Structure 1
Amino acid sequence: MPEAEKFGVAIAGLGTVGSGVAQILSESRSGEQGLFLKSILEREPEKGPASQWFQKIPEAFVKNQEAILEDPEIRVIVETIGGTGFAREFTLEALKRGKHVVTANKDLIASHGSELCEMAQSQDRHYLFEAAVAGAIPVLRLLREYFQTRDILELEGILNGTTNYILSEMESRSLGFEETLKKAQELGFAEQDPTNDIKGFDARYKLVILIYLICGKWISPSEIYLEGIDQLELPDFEYASRMGRSIKLIAHMQRMKKMENVFFRLMSCR
């Protein structure tokens, strides 16, 4: 059996997500598939999740992005930096230098997806973001490869697990919002800074990405009407119950002749 083609991989940013990628790449099966971890871009490797990897493979760590961008062995960069500032600049430069880029940075994709995809296409590179929506469920791949997306007229669903957990707990246990949020954080279901989740931004970013794959165009996140869940109180759930409904943060996209009708709503039938 011929040996698999070798793909050197670099991870940019070694937080929680980046550490998970490093763990996968360190497993023997990844090596059999031709992937190997070559470098890790991390400016403070002695701190946070990066520290355990710095102890194991200190030789892989670099602090200068040029060390990655100029390395001919590195063909794929996994961007786990987060945010839209440096991550955008770094991704554009990586694509210009002929690197393939993989990311789950929903904020970056939703805000600058058009620019980044155009750059990737112009350089004949891949800019891939399967994990940005639905985690390990291959929703984006299904839309790309198996569906005639022009036939999809409507999309509706819950796109954020954190808010769904909070709303379900508030409804079933009659707990207040702050108490439920604290519990979600203790269980690891919510970030210590939950703004993107409870304000609905995370779900909105995902909807922008889905709209692109279904309709073939990027829209600005600000074009989607949105209400978060942080203003909800127990009387809201009591009122919904009397109407035979539940409160959920539901994304909705409906394709129309001239434009897409997109919004979030906070009520659903039981």
Structure 2
Amino acid sequence: MERKHIPESENRLTILYALRRLGPATAMQLLQFLVENDLMNYFTMQLSLSDMQEQGQLAADPHPLGDLLTLTPGGEYAIESFAHRIPVSRRQLMDAQAPRWKERFRAEQLTPADSFTLEDGRVCLRLRLLEGTSSLLDILFTLPKDTPPTFLEKRWRGAAQAVYSAVSLNLSQAFDPTAPTPALPQTAAVERSGDQEWLLSLVDDAEHPTLTLLLPLADEALARHCAARWPSQCAQLRQRILQELRDGLPETP
């Protein structure tokens, strides 16, 4: 259980120690780890974080989930020098618990998901698969009515790789780099994105889209091939994505 009186310096060291064990984490992720393990409450953590960032012990790097907190050289020096001031029991607890939380947080950072409500009341789900700070896949999906977005957001973490593989393999099927360049359908666009990347944008309906896919590719010819296949594969891929997200969805009584 959390002690009643913990020195402010120990709380700061606990945060540094936790981040060293967890790796980069958002403030919300860090809070979950600290609270679930009875190490610190929200207000104590927020006050400590603010002071530590001002003192240059923590850095915040932008990320779709929120800024990722990391130790600066000053923070590394502080924990190297004073980790012994954290009670052994607390250090052992963090050492034991951090690996599973680190794995969970890493998965959340690579597969961010959120939802928002459209003007007509329907819910749109945004699902992303990242590699570091680079996007591999970005999906906007207008959900069928009576489909709970919260559950699907959680499902995305486990379904992201399967969806990415299904989309990539399906659209790139039978690609021949020597074939003539196909014309782009109205529901697709190919634009240069950086020096060595092309962004493929796909929608199911040009005027009223309910499914949008953004897929970065390294080759323009491949991007145009995928675009040409999209109209014939759109319905199948839409169903596949929804199937992957609904896998394990609780049945309505």
TM-score (norm 2): 0.29
Q: Could you say which structure has the larger radius of gyration?
A: 2
